[in-house]
Amino acid sequence: MKKILIFITGFLFIASSCQKKDEATPQTSGSIEIKFDHFVGNQRFSLNQSYTNSATNEQFTPTLLKYFVSNFHFIKEDGSSYVVPVEKSYFLIDVKDNSLQSIRIDSLPAGKYVALEFIIGVDSLMSTKEPEQRPSSLDPAGAAQGMYWSWNPGYIFVKFEGTSPQSPRDGNVFKYHIGGYGGYSTPTINCIRKRRIDFGKSVSINGQDTPSVHLIVDILKFFNGNFSLRIADNPVVMFNPLGTSIADNYKEMFKLDHIHE
């Protein structure tokens, strides 16, 4: 009987030790969500709703807004950074589809993060790869349909369209298709822009909770930056040098609103 009691006691001790060890094992990775909340100044942004750019006193009614964000880096407290793998780092944001206004990054190494960086657009290396080597989010015949120039191979980084009474074009339309990665064999315009978002605090990735980073995307910044874009003067801008000034503007559209942990 004594041997049996010793055996049972030993077994319970080992089981208890294993359970405590499992409970104490830290998670090695987790996830984070990034939401893109679109505004026009202090107003919520919606397609087919009219707004006024007070800086130029121009009215505009957006009918389409899409853009790429890519090349995500997450910066830790110690200054080191985690680069999201290429195949998981390209996203198309489309304001007409709620499911395409937030992204999720999985397998982010556990730790405390203080900032993130990303590109608005598609980098030159990915733009020049063979189509079959690109992630599905960049498929011109699929998810990225309408966001690729076949006549001038390369992605449209930001596509913004609508109407404005100030536009001199037929139907009072405006169209801004901004892209250009610097050129493959000869130099061209480069509209790739990098944006850094500081969190203002440490955000923990622990494999248990999924922090949600809410970014405000202020569409007025598209028009009002270092360059004042007047629809009356430039109702259509595509692949031309003016696109680089517009890219400087839209880089400033993105700013931190708040973080849920």
What are the φ and ψ backbone dihedral angles of 19, each rounded to 5 degrees?
Answer: -65, -45
43: helix, strand or coil: strand
Pairing of strands 29-40, 212-218: parallel
For each of the chain's 261 residues, which pLDDT tens digit applies? 444 444 444 444 444 444 444 444 557 999 999 999 999 999 999 999 999 999 999 999 999 999 999 999 999 999 999 999 998 999 999 999 988 899 999 999 999 999 999 999 999 999 999 989 999 999 999 999 999 998 877 999 999 999 999 999 999 999 999 999 998 778 899 999 999 999 999 999 998 899 999 999 999 999 999 999 999 999 999 999 999 999 999 999 999 999 999
86: helix, strand or coil: helix
DSSP string, 20-82: HHHHHPPPSEEEEEEEEEEEETTEEP-TT--EEETTTTEEEEEEEEEEEEEEEEEEETTS-EE
- Tokens representing residue 93 in the block: 């944001």
Longest dimension (CA), the chain: 99
Q: Where are the domains of the chain?
A: 32-260
- The separation between the first and the last C-alpha atoms of the chain, rounded to the nearest angstrom, is 54
| Structure letter (DSSP) for residue 225 | S
- What is the model's pTM? 0.88
- Tokens representing residue 36 in the block: 């893109």
- Residue 22 neighbours by CB under 8 Å, 6+ apart: none
CA 91, CA 109: separation in Å to the nearest integer? Answer: 20
- Residue 78 neighbours by CB under 8 Å, 6+ apart: none
